[in-house]
């Protein structure tokens, strides 16, 4: 932070800003508009992008005033951190599911490159973990795969299926898949 402060002051100086005067104005503004907890709470309620800073235990009281759900989320996240990750790992299949059960869930989602596919799978899995831990009621087509306990990846004309602990369960050709 000191480096950023020094760089910021350097930029202000280069542009002819009187730093002591600017500091006084900023301090006066903060004192006027954020001098009470009520003012801070009112501002935070309108600025959800800043709520992440409330997710630490020392701001629990303030978080509760801004949005009581934040405290609930904070408690769920702390509990999650103490839980073995295997409990939340959605990939639990140990055998290759029948092609029919997988293809029914899939909605023509064919990507060109493995990176996009894996990136999307990682994103969706993370999204699912947040949904589960915070108890949110979100629906997504990828969750249908998770209910089967599998991850599906398209690679060079093959549909590869992975399950518990990343175990390779088998594959189908894209021809079989698209029938």
Domain that holds residue 155: 99-177
150 and 115 within one domain? yes
pTM attached to this predicted model: 0.43
- Please report the pLDDT score of residue 50 as a whole number: 85
pLDDT tens, position by position, 65-86: 999 888 888 888 888 888 887 7
Asked whether residue 32 is domain-assigned, the answer is yes
Please check whether residue 12 is in contact with residue 25, taking contact to mean a CB–CB distance below 8 angstroms.
no
> Do residue 76 and residue 114 come from a single domain?
no
Extract the runs of DSSP E, i.e. beta strands, from the chain.
151-155, 158-162, 168-173
Does the residue 89 lie in any domain? no
Predicted local distance difference test score (pLDDT) of residue 109: 47
The reply to whether 65 and 125 lie within a common domain is no
Residue 155 neighbours by CB under 8 Å, 6+ apart:
114, 117
Residue 7's pLDDT is 85
Q: What are phi and psi of 98, to 5 degrees?
A: -60, 145
Q: Kindly state the DSSP code that residue 7 receives in the 8-state scheme.
A: H
Please say if the pLDDT value at position 120 is more than 70: no
Is 69 found in the same domain as 108?
no
Q: Per the domain annotation, does 93 fall within a domain?
A: no
Strand pairing partners for 171? 160
The answer to whether residue 94 sits within a structural domain is: no
- Count Cβ atoms within 10 A of the Cβ of residue 21 and give its class: 0-12 exposed, 13-18 middle, 19 or more buried: exposed
């Amino acid at each position: 932070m000191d480096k950023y402060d020094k760089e910021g002051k350097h930029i202000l100086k280069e542009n002819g800003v009187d730093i002591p005067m600017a500091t006084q104005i900023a301090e006066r503004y903060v004192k006027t508009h954020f001098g009470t907890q009520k003012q801070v709470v009112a501002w935070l309620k309108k600025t959800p992008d800043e709520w992440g800073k409330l997710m630490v235990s020392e701001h629990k009281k303030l978080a509760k005033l801004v949005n009581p759900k934040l405290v609930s989320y904070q408690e769920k996240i702390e509990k999650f951190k103490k839980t073995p990750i295997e409990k939340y790992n959605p990939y639990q299949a140990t055998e290759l599911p029948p092609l029919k059960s997988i293809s029914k869930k899939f909605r023509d989602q064919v990507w060109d490159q493995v990176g996009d596919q894996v990136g999307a799978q990682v994103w969706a899995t993370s999204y699912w973990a947040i949904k589960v831990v915070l108890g949110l009621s979100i629906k997504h087509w990828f969750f249908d795969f998770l209910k089967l306990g599998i991850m599906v990846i398209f690679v060079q004309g093959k549909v590869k299926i992975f399950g518990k602990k990343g175990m390779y369960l088998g594959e189908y050709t894209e021809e079989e898949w698209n029938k």
